[in-house]
Amino acid sequence: MPRAGAADVDRAVRAAAAAFRAWRRETPAGRGRALLRIADDIEADAERIARLLATETGNAIRRQARPEVASAADLFRYFGGVAGEAKGETVPLGRGLLNYTLREPIGVVGGIVPWNAPVQLASVKIAMALVTGNTLVLKAAEDAPLAVLEVAAICARHLPPGVLNVLTGYGTEAGAALLEHPGVDKLSFTGSTEVGRIVMRAAAERILPVSLELGGKSPVIVFPDADEDAVAAGVVDGMRFTRQGQSCTAGSRLLVHASVFDSFPARVTDAVSRLRMGDPLDERSDLGTVINQKQYDRVRGYIDDGLTCGARPLIGDLPAEAGPSDGFYIPPTVLTGVRPSWRVVREEIFGPVLVALPWHDEAEALRMANDTHYGLAAYVWSHDIGRALRTAHALDAGWVQVNRGLGQLPGMSYGGIKQSGLGREFSLEGALDGFTQRKTVTVDTHETPLPLG
Ligand code: NAD
């Protein structure tokens, strides 16, 4: 992979700045058409991109890589479809004044994405930035740049030169140079909260608008009436075990009513035991490998830490076992007997590790759920809709799912609160708020009052 440095970033930003002059004047319909064609081409080449994605990330082709590529096409199609919706407003300020707003592009966007869902996360940034008339310099993650480059190559067929520029390289080199480049007008970052802070500091230096999609440690509240196998299957989906738990929205803290704490976690482990771990390219595999040695060691370290503190594994590997032989496989792990203060309960593991804790009343469940500096996703499982909605409204999270454990869909505003981020993605409103700036125009129309009657 090319290891981009400051000089490459500079070339890319200059290209983006030059292309911005014409791209911002392209009609919204023209920009939308380009995105729709990109969607078609991604779909036509989906299998090849999905195989590459599975190969570079270790994500199972059937359960993750193929659906991820399909979701990238959906995102381009959604944003292509809403291209003409960047509307402003007129504001009634009284006779003689016409006041209206325009939604204008910001300029050159510097985007940085992580490795866990690289094609989807790159696609959402490309589509949102470009449809609103900006140009983009995007840095792919060093651990998963290949499939993103394929998407970039497809985009290049339908975009004028310089509108989209994709760099590969390390965060501390290419990433840092992008954050500091004076030609960048907006920063859009998806990744860890730790690096998010660095991005926000860089934005503060130059008063740049910034969007941050950061980490999570999302709670899953299970009420006693939801002690069912179908709910357990939903919890397994929500934990993103089929992505080895490497998801920012993983529902990784399972909070179960004490009256069903003997039965419900067992249902979850039963569902987990049916998942097949194996070669990511094998159609039978439900989950593959974690991304690399560093992540493998990190996740095993958390499991080890939990067990040393006294956690009991309901299902999962033990850290004493040998290291990776033919891949960084970590069996899905469910830990019980944990305390709210432990690291396995408080910190984002970003691996296939679910911790289960009991609660006794609704207030306690909410206290436990909200006892975190994160606020990305949350899950509520109950047949009592009043109770489920009351809980959903009281949770500190940017996205609460009730009786559903699957992923984001184009059109829904998605993003975090607290230290999980700033801004929203996946939706028209998110694109408008994050990638356009409002200009107000106030016109004195010199209207003289008409004679009454
Ligand atoms: P990371 O923060 O280590 O890296 C993300 C990107 O930032 C990579 O491209 C990396 O090269 C770059 N980077 C690293 N250091 C940098 C620096 N000093 N300056 C500029 N760029 C730098 O995150 P990761 O390990 O790749 O991804 C996992 C994290 O991402 C998790 O915390 C996860 O929750 C989060 N995530 C959030 C969302 C969301 O939508 N909220 C989605 C996916 C992942």
One DSSP character per residue, 399-432 reads EEEES------TTS-B--SGGGEES-BSSHHHHH
Distance 418 CA to ligand 1 centre (A): 17
Domains and CATH numbers, the chain: 6-214+416-441 (3.40.605.10), 219-402 (3.40.309.10)
Pocket test for ligand 1, best of 112, 197, 349, 408 (most atoms within 8 A of CB): 112
Distance 31 CA to ligand 1 centre (A): 29
Question: What mean pLDDT is predicted for residues 257-264?
Answer: 98
User: What tens digit of pLDDT does each residue of 143-202 get?
Assistant: 999 999 999 999 999 999 999 999 999 999 999 999 999 999 999 999 999 999 999 999
Q: How many CB atoms lie within 10 A of CB 295?
A: 22
Which atom, in ligand 1's list, is nearest to the CA of 216? 34
Picking from 236, 332, 279, 292, the residue whose alpha carbon sits closest to that of residue 114 is: 292
Distance 349 CA to ligand 1 centre (A): 14
0.85 surpassed by pTM: yes
CB-based burial label for 275 (10 Å; 0-12, 13-18, 19+): middle
Q: What mean pLDDT, rounded, does the chain reach?
A: 96
Q: pLDDT at residue 320 above 50?
A: no
> Where does the pLDDT of residue 322 fall: very low under 50, low under 70, confident under 90, or very high at 90 and above?
very low
Q: Catalytic: which of 68, 150, 173, 213?
A: 213
Examine the residue annotation and report whether 213 is marked as an active-site residue of this protein.
Answer: yes
Name the residue at shortest CA distance from atom 35 of ligand 1: 191
Confidence (pLDDT) at 452: 79
Confidence (pLDDT) at 318: 55
Q: What angle do CA 192, 196, 197 make, to 5 degrees?
A: 125
Confidence (pLDDT) at 325: 64
> Where does the pLDDT of residue 319 fall: very low under 50, low under 70, confident under 90, or very high at 90 and above?
very low
Confidence (pLDDT) at 105: 98
User: What tens digit of pLDDT does each residue of 365-419 get?
Assistant: 999 999 999 999 999 999 999 999 999 999 999 999 999 999 999 999 999 999 9
Identify the DSSP state of 452.
P
Distance 446 CA to ligand 1 centre (A): 54
Residue 364 near residue 258, CB atoms below 8 Å: no
Distance 287 CA to ligand 1 centre (A): 22
Name the residue at shortest CA distance from atom 22 of ligand 1: 171
Name the residue at shortest CA distance from atom 19 of ligand 1: 176
Ligand 1 shell residues, CB under 6 Å = 112-116, 121, 139, 141-142, 170-172, 175-176, 179, 190-192, 195, 198, 213-216, 248, 348, 350, 376, 416, 421
Question: What mean pLDDT is predicted for residues 225-235?
Answer: 98
Question: What mean pLDDT is predicted for residues 316-345?
Answer: 83
